[in-house]
Structure 1
Amino acid sequence: MHKWLDIDFRAIQSELRGRDFVRSSEILGPTESLFKTKEHGYRRIDDAIFLHVMDFEIGRPYSLQMARPEFICIQIAVSGTYNRSIGDHVDVVKPASIHISNAPLSVSDTRAGTKLCGVLIACNREYFVDHFKLNVDRVPEAYRPIFSSRIGSPSSLMLPAKPDIMLAADQILSCRYHEPLRHFYLNAKVVEIICGIAAQINGLPAQMPLRAVPNKRAVIEAAAMIYRRETFNPPTIAQLATRVGLNRNDITSGFREAFGMTPHAYGHLLRMEKAHLMLQDGQLSVSDVARRVGYEGYSSFCRAYRSHFGRSPSIVKPKPGR
């Protein structure tokens, strides 16, 4: 059965002035049948900004009408697809995309079974422009009402998915800290994203197409960053594909084009290079190095190292002066 929901960003902002987090069920009523997730709600960043983390499966089809006057909405979609309507204008929000919009009212329609992953950052329009020093005159004219008008625009500004922004979104989604560290970490990542978005907008060309083509290379670079950051416990290809919003074939072909190897081979290369540097440093035993790069056993690490470098890790000598 289709469900109709209404939410007002002003009410969320008002609730968040007295606390750090508001659950959706407090605003929408019972949501267990709609959103299959541990946490669904809105998190205070400061008096002008709040965050909604999308990491859930849709249990029932619904339409969510959002009253959001004077709010700049940054939507970073990692996986899952849904429709967003502003007046008669409909946008399909797809994976590996960044949408910037500002309209008094929008409606999002989502089908049951859809798995949505991404972040929504809502920021008061004037605060966004003034606090982050957005040069509205540099914004292409077609999109200028998003930042300069109280009534906004039915068209959203679609930006190429830059690796640093996609990586920050992934770090928000994969955050495992408990409070209060979670609060501090997510706040820092949201500010990082907004700074990146503001810098990207300030550098837009004067003539920009109405629809930006998703930058697959940037998404692949974001995936590579995940491997570089998580050498201790690298994700599987399936997990990596889910996190960056591409399918396995696109991930594999993208890595072959960018790095000349499969994602698995790229992750293995990083682990071996990191292990070799630690062995040359001479501060850790071979067993400790093995654990640092995600190997549970000494023997399995030695086999992998010998296969990669053609010699045993135990004969690696520290560099002079170490």
Structure 2
Amino acid sequence: METTKGRGRFIFFCLTPAVILFIIFLIIPTIDVFRMSMYKWGGYTDDKTFVGFQNFTKLFHSDKFYQTFQNSVLLIVIVTIVTFAFSLLFASVLTREKLKGQNLFRIIFYIPNILSIVVISAIFSAIYDPNSGLLNSFTNLFRSATETPTLWLGDQKIVIFSLAGAMIWQAIGYYMVMYMASMANIPDSLYESADLEGASRTTQFFSITIPLIWVNIRTTLTFFIISTINMSFLFVMAMTSGGPDGATEVFLSYMYKEAYTNSSYGYGMAIGVVVFLFSFALAAILNAVTKRDNLEY
């Protein structure tokens, strides 16, 4: 009995600091965001006016909000699909194929993840430079000298894809390493049996590799999609500031500008509430759609 009580007290004292910090720095600020979304407030004075759901009404009648919603969803879809496709492909090749310098490739692919967003943004801004950038220097080899250079960060039709390219380059290595760790635990005997049955590498990848690491894929997919909402804000602020003409404005950049630049703090918090609910709903839908029975081997 004394042992059980002592163990209970030990667990209580270990968890209490974490719970207190969780409540102070997550629960209370989240509740405050919901509360402040009901006010008309500039953010720098004590002059607050309770307006109920007026901020949300204004938000859902804003064309700019729907543009930011479209941009955010487009980035989530493009960056997620491409990042996970290449991460799984590279992880499979580096795990199953006997290549020289495998550890070197792992390090090279992982390097972008340890760089700050500002550094990555500076690198890609230089690559996308219309006059001396690497990308235009390459494309100039296949077009006449009289053609105008491509404005990778200045053309409304392609700027969102340019932004997605930087985000994909930053994320691939991290998830590749995670999938390599999962793939390394798959018994070689399963692949040997598949080889004897005449299964191709592609068939083995989709029939053995993917099902056996599905739990890891499912977890990282949910985490990545939610984190993309945050990462897109950082890349937008560092590379385009939402331009040209709002073509790269995303949820959080729009919220930041409304709350801290346009002095519409209450309206900005209403955007924050919508982003929170959207993220929560997206995570729930994703968990439901990707749910499968765990395979054992």
Please report the TM-score for the alignment, with normalisation by the length of structure 2: 0.23
Question: Relative contact order (C-alpha < 8 Å, sep 6+): which is higher?
Answer: 2
Larger Rg computed on CA atoms? 2
Name the structure where strand makes up a greater proportion of residues.
1
Please report the TM-score for the alignment, with normalisation by the length of structure 1: 0.21
